[in-house]
Chains A and B, each alone.
Chain A
Amino acid sequence: MAVVGGEPRCKNAPASSRGAESRGARVQRYSIFSLARNALNDHADWERAWRSPDPKPSYAVVIVGAGGHGLATAYYLAKEHGIRDVAVLEKGWLGGGNTGRNTTVVRSNYLNDDSAALYEKSLQLFEGLSRELNFNVMLSQRGLMMLAHSPHELRAHQRLVSAMRLNGIEGEMLSVEQVKALCPILNCSPRSRYPVFGASFQRRGGTARHDALAWGYARAADARGVDIIQNCEVTGLRLEAGRIRGLETTRGYIEAAKVGVVVAGHASVLAAMAGLRLPIQSHPLQALVTEPIKPVLHRVVMSGAVHVYVSQSDRGELVLGAGIDGYNSYAQRGSFHVIEAQLAALKELFPIVSRLRMMRQWGGIVDICPDASPIIGKTPVEGLYFNCGWGTGGFKSTPGSGFVFAHTIAADEPHPLAAPFALKRFETGRLLDEHGSAGVAH
């Protein structure tokens, strides 16, 4: 048994032997010292980063979905609001949905004031997150450029940059010469079928490690007493007199005073359990990586017209993404012609990739909303809250989404940043069209 903080402690003791309150003070801290100490012990003594408790019969708050958003929500409930009697239920393994399948891009270059505020809040949380969570989320603010391939696109990007600046978010326009200097392997020939006219650029944009974000939030939430319960599928929601009472799950019935559902592509499935309808359509979104090569691409590059976006991972793989498949699907896979089209686009933009082997391809289930903006807030069922509709843009918003959703649940009122994204906007007509900023074809 390792002795941590002066008290004997069994690393792999059953969850029941450790109270929610007592764990918080004694979670193992990652540091150069703990790394050195464990290196001397062949790394045999690292503690589990989170427990695997059995579900309790009831909780104050149950979060459905242990993706990045759900885990972040649980963390902020505990940290910002002192609510620790929380369970996060996950039908599979934590972070195994879209959180583990995205292309890791982080940015806040959105057009509408309300969107810009929320995505920028998320980016600002990202900037302090590794330190806050004591977990390296590998935020790499390498710069993100969105290419303009015509005079009209150039004007649209100039409008976006102006909108960003008016919202206090830095952004700039790049000439084609500046684009070429930042990205030497990009084909900037004026004779190209879709030549590069310039680009909008967010210096603080970049990438982060998707798994690390889930794991960092999971460890930090667990350390504050949150129960993360995997292999636990919600099969029904029990309502009584217009209010949530509890959840039927594959691991038994769990009573809950408040339930926050944040399950991305499965939003409609959960909504139906409460008799609710959503404007969500679930579509495949595919991604793929190339074989590793030496560092050749030092920015994130997105092209709307020549449709593909790409970054290079720390392993040297080019990480590629493009548009959704055009049909509804929960299969976590898509059709190959979508891959062929984006590789044609990639080769047009970066001729040197023509010999690269594609190593691995996968898909997720994205919850597409008619205006490409999320739905966050209360529902007609008292105590039931939904956070969905992030579609193709959920990774970058993980911290911000969790932050505002935790507030919405704790206060039973939407956080001011989340208020414009209420489900009710589809009745009032105040949609927030972010198809352009989504950067992904719908």
Chain B
Amino acid sequence: MHLIPCPWCGPREESEFACGGEGHIMRPADPEARSDAEWADYLYMRANPKGWHRERWLHRYGCRRWFNLIRDTVSHEIKAVYRMDEPAPKLEP
């Protein structure tokens, strides 16, 4: 299984975590001003890339904190870990 590098606890087995899917999804500040299509995009539409994926993970059976990962969805390599309030590191092309 993956060894997930929790920023606080260090590398732990994947079974201690829950994957929260795509990261950096911002809730619109003005929901009432959004069209149904824009609201559906926020709620449901996702990039789901084959390659580097910016995700958020929860250390559910550990420190119970959320953090971000950049992980490859083909090789499962983890390239970066950063906190929820940090911006995503740049990805080389």
Q: Give chain A's interface residue range (CB within 8 Å of chain B).
A: 20 to 34
Instruction: Determine if B15 and A337 form an interchain contact, defined as CB atoms under 8 angstroms apart.
Output: yes
Give A427 to B42 CA distance when docked, in angstroms.
11
Interface of B, secondary structure class, is mixed
Instruction: Determine if B2 and A335 form an interchain contact, defined as CB atoms under 8 angstroms apart.
Output: yes
B33 CB-CB contact with A under 8 Å: no
- Identify which of B1, B36, B45, B53 contacts A337 (C-beta below 8 A): B1
**Binary CB contact string for chain B from 74 to 88 against chain A (1 if under 8 A, 0 otherwise):** 111000000000000
- Identify which of A330, A337, A426 contacts B14 (C-beta below 8 A): A337
**Binary CB contact string for chain A from 135 to 177 against chain B (1 if under 8 A, 0 otherwise):** 0000000000000000000000000000000000000000000
Are A280 and B48 also in contact (CB < 8 A) when A330-B74, A331-B75, A427-B36 are?
A: yes
Give A327 to B22 CA distance when docked, in angstroms.
10
- Identify which of A268, A328, A428 contacts B55 (C-beta below 8 A): A328
Instruction: Determine if A268 and B74 form an interchain contact, defined as CB atoms under 8 angstroms apart.
Output: no
CB distance from A105 to the nearest CB of B (A): 26
- Identify which of B37, B71, B75, B76 contacts A427 (C-beta below 8 A): B37
* Count of residues in B whose CB is under 8 Å from the partner chain: 28
Output the residue of A280, A327, A426 with the most chain B CB within 10 A.
Answer: A327
Instruction: Determine if B1 and A331 form an interchain contact, defined as CB atoms under 8 angstroms apart.
Output: no
- Closest-by-CB residue of B relative to A335 is B1
**Residues of chain B at the chain A interface (Cβ within 8 Å):** 1-2, 13-15, 18-19, 21, 36-37, 39-41, 43-50, 53, 55, 71, 73-76
Q: List 25 A-B contacts (CB under 8 A).
A: A266-B50, A268-B50, A277-B41, A277-B45, A277-B47, A278-B46, A278-B48, A281-B48, A282-B73, A326-B18, A327-B14, A328-B21, A328-B48, A328-B55, A329-B73, A330-B73, A330-B74, A331-B75, A331-B76, A335-B2, A335-B14, A337-B1, A370-B44, A426-B40, A426-B45
